[in-house]
Amino acid sequence: MTIPIRDEASFSTGCHARDSARGAGKFLTGVGSGVATCLLMIIAFMTAYFRGRHEPAAAFLFTTALLLLTISLMRSRANSKLP
């Protein structure tokens, strides 16, 4: 009975596919944080321009941006090789 030997390329392909899937999640949460921050500034300035009350929407979007940024940083930290 022989044991099939997999070449080095097949090992690296699977590893890179897994790493790229993890990287995509970090990337999307980072982009989501940036989008939420941009929406925060747009809505805040537009409602201030029209003399509306912008604090509740700003608080919600700021919290959303911070949560997405925190999730992105935690995913990056979990996959890093630092102690």
For 56-81, how does the pLDDT look when each residue is reduced to its tens digit (9 = 90+)?
888 888 888 888 888 888 877 776 66
Decide if 83 is inside a domain.
Answer: no
Q: What is the pLDDT of residues 7-57, one digit of tens each?
A: 555 555 555 555 566 667 667 777 888 888 888 888 888 888 888 887 888
Instruction: State the Cα–Cα distance between residues 36 and 33, nearest whole angstrom.
Output: 5
Decide if 34 is inside a domain.
Answer: yes
Decide if 1 is inside a domain.
Answer: no
Higher-confidence residue of 60 and 3: namely 60
Q: How many CB atoms lie within 10 A of CB 24?
A: 10
Cα distances from 24 to residues 16, 29, 52, in angstroms, run 12, 9, 38
The predicted pLDDT at position 14 comes to 55
Closest to 64 (Cα-Cα) out of 35, 41, 43: 35
List the structure tokens of 12.
């690296």
Decide if 3 is inside a domain.
Answer: no
Closest to 25 (Cα-Cα) out of 64, 81, 83, 79: 79
Q: Which domain holds residue 59?
A: 25-77
